[in-house]
Structure 1
Amino acid sequence: MVENEELQQEDGGPDRLEGRIIADRYRIANVVSAGANTVIAEAVDIEQDQPVTVKVVRPELAESAEFKRAFRRQAEVATALRHPNVASVFGWGDTELDGEPTVFWVVEYLSGGSLRDLFDRGLLLEPSQALVVGLEACRALDAAHQRGIVHTELTPSKLVFGDDSRLRVVDFGMAALIGIEAWGDPATVATHVARYASPEQALGMTVDAKTDVYALSLCLIEAVTGSVPFAGDSTVSTLAARIGKLMPVSADLGSLASVLERAGRPEAEDRYTAAEFGQALVQAAEALPRPEPFLLMEASLFAVALREKATLDELPDTPEAGADTETDEETPEPEPETDESVQDGAPEDEPLEDESSEDESADDGASETDTEIEIESPGESDSESDPEEAAVGAIVGASDLLGSDDAEPDADSVSDSEGPGESDSEDADADAGDSAGAIPLLLLTDIADAPTGAVQVADGGASTTASSGSTEEPIPTQEMPAEMVAAAAVATVGSVTETDVVDPTPSGIIYDDEDNGKPWGKILLLALVILVCLGALGYAGWLLVRTKSYEVPDLVGVEETVALNEISGNDWIIETEHERSDDVPDIDHIVRTDPAAGVILDEGEIFVVYVSDGPELRTLPELEGLTQEEALGMLTELSLVAIEVPPEFSETVPAGSVISWTVRGDASLTAGAQVLPETTIVLTISKGPEPRPAPALFNLTLDEATAATDGLQLVLERGDDVFSVDVEVGRVVLQVPPPETPVERGGTVTVQLSKGPDMVPIPDLAGMTLPEAEKALDDAGFVINSLLGTTEGTFVAISVGGEEVQPGDLFIRGTGVDLIFL
């Protein structure tokens, strides 16, 4: 990862990036596009001297620290995703665009253009061709889905071909990250993206791997028919048209129709998985004709320039050597455009043979799509060529020596280091089209590997082309087993040339009269010489055929390229596997080898190196309902980082337990998803139930008060009843705590009910003196208001409110009375 690097440019926007250098490493050659979200540029990796594609995020999208953290996490995931049909991510980092800080990432350069480029040129695919494209896309999707990665924005522009004609899916992880804000409101999504959206995206629902399957079905239908189902004039109409609708398919799709119909069903659970989609395509292939290759167009002048540079680098610096005869005519040098006719994916040192050639009539000769294997003459072989190429050259040299004098090759017929397919007629170029930069797409799914040791040998056996000098008849390809190649190489090393043949004429010294009777010494000497020669030849033969052994070095923790360079001279068959490891978390470093270090391994045996894709992914556990201590312990054990937000009240989760949790930067991830170590988990802890205000219970009956407290999950207790002049009997007079006082859930509210007024009887005062009457009235609960008469007299009468009352009459306690004493 490259950090804190500034984009070295003047003001002026993305168009001024050309010629600038990012991160002191990536020189921008050409700005391909400047969209609303990213600026895409073709560049050269100065350190590796190879073309790359640099994608810079618009600064307004990368303003927040949360986005940058999510970007780095997605970049790590994308870098670890390795598959032949997934575009490789080489690096990422921080930079500036138009003076504003942002982020960028670097992916492999793919010069073959995208499926969208084909559509824009008015080109469509046959169903069998679309099937092959779909199969390779399914392989990429399946690899990503198995790692929990969903593309979410699969369109024809994301299906890109490399110069090897193999399909790659680009922007895994990044497309979802950059598009997440727009999909928050589907109506704001760009129409060209909405055309390939799934119904669940149109409804704003959670998406999964089945969304990518739906999008791929739309791409394949467009590839054959030229139109996208459900496309409307606006984003809203485009999205609405697919909700609840079956995928429309036509008979033009052949056996693909039923497969694409299921892949594009409106309900996600009814669709294929990516793996099932690929299997269905393989089954559908049985009912389709063999796919014909189609032409890819160079994506830009940058790609054409790279191809021309590669062609010039391959041209020889000096005239070819090694021709056995001199000619009057000068052998023409190959023109650069002839190299462009070589099909990507079939390099000159590893040509491929199309299996379809076996089915064609012999009368037609080699078809224009057949790739024949040619070899150089011994004089043209590079000194650094591998042993198998040297052996093949030795076989041709031996055939020159053993052939007749008439078999010497004509200078005009000697190959000028032409690549595969360059000996074809000019009609092949005409069929390929007149467009500059056109690359014939090889359907790699249908091409078999070249047979081991296959060598092109002319009928005359003297050179790589026919001895008559005619180039009209194709030279047949004959297979030679690897054992015969090796044996012929050894035999050629020890063969005798014409200049080494001994003249059989007897020498005069053998018949000398002085030595004629004593030949045994010379015979013994000759025998000894023969034995020594035989021994030397035997030892030389043993050196050639012996199997060398080497000790396996300790490569654990070593960077992959360094490790492979260290064992490159051991002639082992290297197999590379990728796995995740916490012991070796650095990407592209060796985790382990098989066999392990210290084991003696013969050359030619299989040696497996396991390369790290980074630390092991952690499966997110379910944390809801766990106590805070349990959740923190589980996350620590998984090397995940926990942070807590302010606790919240919860009616269902006990205090101190987890109410909810999310992955910071990606709230869509749930339990069971896989994340990298050090991923941050945000925990929300419960404070328990929220206190509720005590209800107002005054003047309510006991039943009414009970219902009010039960609704708030409070407990009602009844205290002692009290007298009340104002409240009817049986209604609440007092409550504790008072209304609106916070009470914990399950807390108690105490009430006292009214017993009504406190009524007391008038006491009998007959015969009492004033002091005796006062005491009796006070004990009974009455108050003396006035006294008429003398204090020395005796009781005469008692009245309340001016009316005379009799003993036993009931009045409210505290009622005032008037007395008469005479």
Structure 2
Amino acid sequence: MVDLPERRPPTRQGLLAGRYRLGARRGSSVEAAAFEAVDEQLQRDVLVKIVHPDLTAQRRVRGALEATVAALADLHHPNLAALLDHGLATWNGQEVLYVVSEHLTGGSLRDLIDRGRTLTPSQAVVVGLDACKALDALHRRGIFHGDVRPATIVFGADRRLRLVDAGVTFLAIEATGGVVKRSNDVARYTAPEIASGAGAQPRSDVYSLCLALVEAITGTVPFVGDSTVATLANRVDRLLPVSADLGALAPVLERAGRPDPEDRSTAAEFGRALVQAAEHMPRPEPLPLLVSSLFSPSGADAAPVREHEPAPAPAPEPQPQPQPQPQPGAVVEPPAVPGEPLPPPTGPAPAADAMPPIQPAESTAAISLTTLTGGDEAPAAAAVGGPAVEGELLDEADEFPDPPPAAGPSRRWFIALLAVLAVAGGLLAWYNTRPDELLVPEVTGMEADAARNVLADFTVVAVEEASESVPVGQVIRTDPTGNTRADKGSTVTMYVSTGPAPRVLPELTGLTLSDAKAKLEGMGLVVELADPVYDESVPNGTVISWSVPESPSLTAGATVLIGTTVRLVTSAGPAPRTVPDLTGMTLEQATATLASVGLQITQLADEYSDLPVGQVVRQDPAVGASAERGATIGVALSKGPEMVSLPPLTGLNHDQVRAALENAGFVVGTVYGNTSLPLNKTVVDGQEVTAGFTAPKGTVVDLVYIPDEPEPTTTTVAP
């Protein structure tokens, strides 16, 4: 383990920590910058990552970074970039934390994708398995990588994959505000649990690796939005879309990309699943990396030396360079591709009997399971098609060929004979070992487990698929289809129903109730009606709001299972109005009063009334009645009291007098005297009135039947 000093000031001009001469900048971000550099002490190329001074100055962040780097320095794995040095130094006048790792020249998976190259599923298995080895080693040490993406999957000149930036970048990102505030490039590969704020865990690395492999195969990353927030939101609670065209790799990626980390593979389980899938896949071609080699990238042999040509002079022996000694338990691997130079020795050479010879593969591919779980828990190797060295993905092109013998005339006939015999023997072997052709049984509609038993003569790959008509767990179809012929042992893809596909909730607000019900019921969802509510702006019968009672936070665009209940709240229109009392108001006052409560006014015919002229004497509907908003209320205005004339009453008896007065609109008041006598006079308010007198209708008239006193007679006596 490398000790971390309190500070290593520069002792030589222009060198970081007195040792590293910085070169070209390889990349930078808010949290760190990476530089190509030369280790002047050991005279070798390295990569130096300098953490931003502001982060270095934060005690919590600095402590977490130092602890992670120290743990990584003690971890040696062939698929993790070697951490060579780390510490504190002064850079541009500020104290920074720096990390030195090996310089890898084979490019990254990001470089390969950016060149327009994609991987075959078989190549993706090779990349994924090496990455799983690295992640499993990290997770067993309690280290979370946190930034698995094509840019951190890097290849060395030996064509071996290494994960870089383990742990360091993620801690820096968290310190600068979390992944939501980082670039969309980081968010493209972030697991749903991190996006939802649940926190990172080892299986988050598995999700990120799964997305990186999907992009390497298809060229695109699922769920990517226009912004970091959109990208993170798109993948929460959503299943990873994996094409069945990936064959045996499809279910492996589907499990590694599940949104719930509890349902997701661990790194070890992911690696074992990749090995099992490889048994049903063709041999991968070498990755199209940009590395120099004595041989072609395909692993083909160099051209043989022609006869009579002098052999080339041997290359001078390279001078060994000082290298750091490996820690106990360090793994040192030979290059995986023929023609690549061996790395400088890091320890004493093993004894001859300690290195088992690599046997030629007996088939086109040989893949075995790496010891992902370690110790006694390591699973048994599952070789495909022939023996394989434990822990390696072997390829015939990766074996070093023996030097070709000189081709002289005396041997040519023998070589030709061997070639003919080889061809004939190959044809005979092919004829004798060709697979039997069998009829693929029809298993559509059967339960998946029963169908597997029926298809026992074939290699069955089950792929889950949604179906509206086939019950969950039953077979929808097979490829090849039933009752067709296929080689015994060949792959039969069995599509198993997961039931109806999740329904995408539509936007229902603003639809009429009938339209909303038709849309939901057509999707197989259940409609529940809540009590309508009054609304001043939404028309009666229109959906105001909706919700899913089981998950009230769901909105349009979210997915639910068939049969989910959706509650609709519709508008009952504007609330009813209570008709106010308008009596005694002028027309203008009544109009304003009705308008304030959303009612209108209409004028009825004027009526006689004791109220002053122009005031409301009557309204329809009456006071306190209920009316809809916008309803019309009728009002009648006063035109004052009605005037009537006193009719002639002379010569009428009492009954006739009473009838005549009442018919004219008068009211009979006090009757004086004997009514059998003729009517003497009519009196209103103490004043005698006669026929033709006008007064308001309803005026009281008193009747006097008492004869007048005769005037005294004066007798004049003549003198």
Q: TM-score, normalised by structure 1?
A: 0.39
Q: TM-score, normalised by structure 2?
A: 0.44
